[in-house]
Amino acid sequence: MAREILMPKLGLTMAEGTVTKWFVEEGNNVKVGDKLFEVETDKLTNEIIADTEGIVRKIVVQAGETVPVKALIGVIADKNEDISGIIGKNLGNKEEEKVADTSYISDVEVNEIKNTKENSDYILATPYAKKLSYEKGIDLSEVEATGYSGVILAKDVERYQNDKPRIKATPAAKKMASENNIDLSAIEKNDRIKKSDVAGYATKSEKSAYDQPTETEKAVGMRKIISERMRANWIATPMVTFNMEVDMTEFIRLREKLKPIYAAEGLKLTYNHMIMKVLGKLLMKYRHLNASLEDDTITYHNYVNLGVAVDVEKGLMVPNVKGLETMTLKEIAEETERLIENARTNKLNPDDLFNGTFTITNIGMFGMDSFTPIINRPEVAILGINRIVDKPVAIDKRVVVRPMMNLSLTTDHSLVDGALSAKFLSEIKEFIENPYLLID
């Protein structure tokens, strides 16, 4: 029986996904458990496996294309099975296929938005239209839409390109422009462009080359989403960062005692794990920091799901350790390392990334003494961990050298008062400098 391969929904907020890689080709035999394709969302990259066996009869969405959840990606069926009813009678027609991507825009997404210059911040276009505009270097805000409720179709982009006035140039001028990657439309000339015009433009460009970027690239996929969300978080949240220095002497001493015990069980105990244990105890007490703020609704959580920022190739991922307040130090170490490993090997489950209540981020390994961590909304606080460095400090009126570390706490000042943030940091400091308080 023929089976549709659909874009899976990998999380509550996922609306669309990008097929980044196919592991199979049309005509390949697959069995249950075989890898089919890789999909990238705004939060993670996942490998999708087959849940049926058969032949890959049709690949509908190619690598690099973005489609909404439940869109048809391909078809698995027996060799002689009729799949025309699944694919659609016009799928083989290239032009019809381009227009067909209007189905990826729903009535809800349209919501009466029109493509006007006044509303150019959000332009409605089908995925194929966006792909064409990117390949051809066309600004979608200049394209007239003919689709339903102002949606730009692929044919609108093609018409725009065909309607652009043709540039008159001699064959020699065209050849030189092509060889030197020069856009003839950038050369201001009322009559036919000649080779000498192109040479003059190239010389002028070389003189001002120091003003030009040497390399540019589009922010796409996960990198684009991370950029957009970081910008939105920064603009929408009145963030304030508090820094406090702590003496790590006893913390280090305790870790050195515990390391061989954990190593015997195949675990590497880190300062992060120990600080997470401190947060598990304190965040249940400081409910205003273990909260979420969405619009005018504040949610206080009766559990601690601690997000751990992980640097991966395509950006930053924040899986969270769920139920931190109930965990032993050993359980925290095990779960944290599992999440970090899965983040770096693209094996995270969608649930690993949702419902965080607080986040911790550590850049001490890069030699940082302080920084401003950005809150992972809708959370209202994030704790930054910096490097440990030996410093001279005064203790009992004597100067001694101690291992010191800065904590950088960023909070949403619209919900968390400065005094509360300072008190929270002070209690973290108390636990770190007296880690035996962790023993219940």
Q: How does pLDDT run across 71-102, given as a tens digit for each residue?
A: 899 999 888 888 888 876 434 433 443 444 44
Stretch among 45-54, 146-155, 429-438 having the lowest mean pLDDT: 146-155
Q: 193-234, pLDDT tens digit by residue?
A: 888 888 887 777 655 555 555 677 777 766 777 787 788 878
Stretch among 157-161, 217-221, 322-326 having the lowest mean pLDDT: 217-221
The rounded distance, in Å, linking the Cα atoms of 162 and 25 is 34
**Residue 115, pLDDT score:** 43
Q: Are strands 310-312 and 358-362 parallel, antiparallel or unpaired?
A: unpaired
Sorting pLDDT into bands at 50, 70 and 90, what band is 262? Answer: very high
The answer, yes or no, to whether the previous bond of 435 is cis (omega within 30 of 0) is no
Backbone angles phi, psi at 397, to 5 degrees: 65, 20
Ramachandran sector of residue 243 (left: φ over 0; alpha: ψ -120 to 50; beta: rest): beta
Q: Is the pLDDT of residue 187 over 90?
A: no
What is the residue-averaged pLDDT of the chain?
Answer: 83
Q: Are strands 358-362 and 381-395 parallel, antiparallel or unpaired?
A: parallel
Say how many C-beta atoms besides its own lie within 10 A of residue 279's C-beta: 24
**Residue 389, pLDDT score:** 97
The rounded distance, in Å, linking the Cα atoms of 35 and 23 is 6
The residue-averaged pLDDT of 378-386 equals 96
Contact assessment for residue 312 and residue 357, using Cβ atoms and an 8 Å cutoff: no
Q: Which of 18-27, 144-153, 305-314, 427-436 has the highest mean pLDDT?
A: 427-436
**Residue 208, pLDDT score:** 55
Stretch among 33-42, 300-309, 362-371, 427-436 having the lowest mean pLDDT: 33-42
The residue-averaged pLDDT of 115-135 equals 62
**Residue 163, pLDDT score:** 75
Contact assessment for residue 384 and residue 373, using Cβ atoms and an 8 Å cutoff: yes
Enumerate the active-site residues. Answer: 413, 417
pTM (predicted TM-score): 0.59
Q: Is the pLDDT of residue 153 over 60?
A: yes
Q: 410-436, pLDDT tens digit by residue?
A: 999 999 999 999 999 999 999 999 998
Token pair for 421: 């943030």
Sorting pLDDT into bands at 50, 70 and 90, what band is 166? Answer: low
Q: Is the pLDDT of residue 255 over 90?
A: yes
Alpha carbon of 22 to those of 29, 48, 82: distances in Å?
14, 10, 23
Q: Is the pLDDT of residue 287 over 80?
A: yes
Q: Which of 94-98, 118-122, 179-183, 315-319 has the highest mean pLDDT?
A: 315-319
Distance of CA 339 to the CA centre of its chain: 16
User: What spatial distance separates the first Cα and last Cα of the chain, rounded to whole Å?
Assistant: 59
**Residue 251, pLDDT score:** 96
- β-partners of residue 242 are 409
Contact assessment for residue 277 and residue 438, using Cβ atoms and an 8 Å cutoff: yes
The rounded distance, in Å, linking the Cα atoms of 342 and 345 is 5
**Residue 106, pLDDT score:** 41
Q: Domains of the chain, with CATH numbers?
A: 3-89 (2.40.50.100), 104-163 (4.10.320.10), 171-211 (no CATH), 222-438 (3.30.559.10)
The residue-averaged pLDDT of 262-268 equals 94
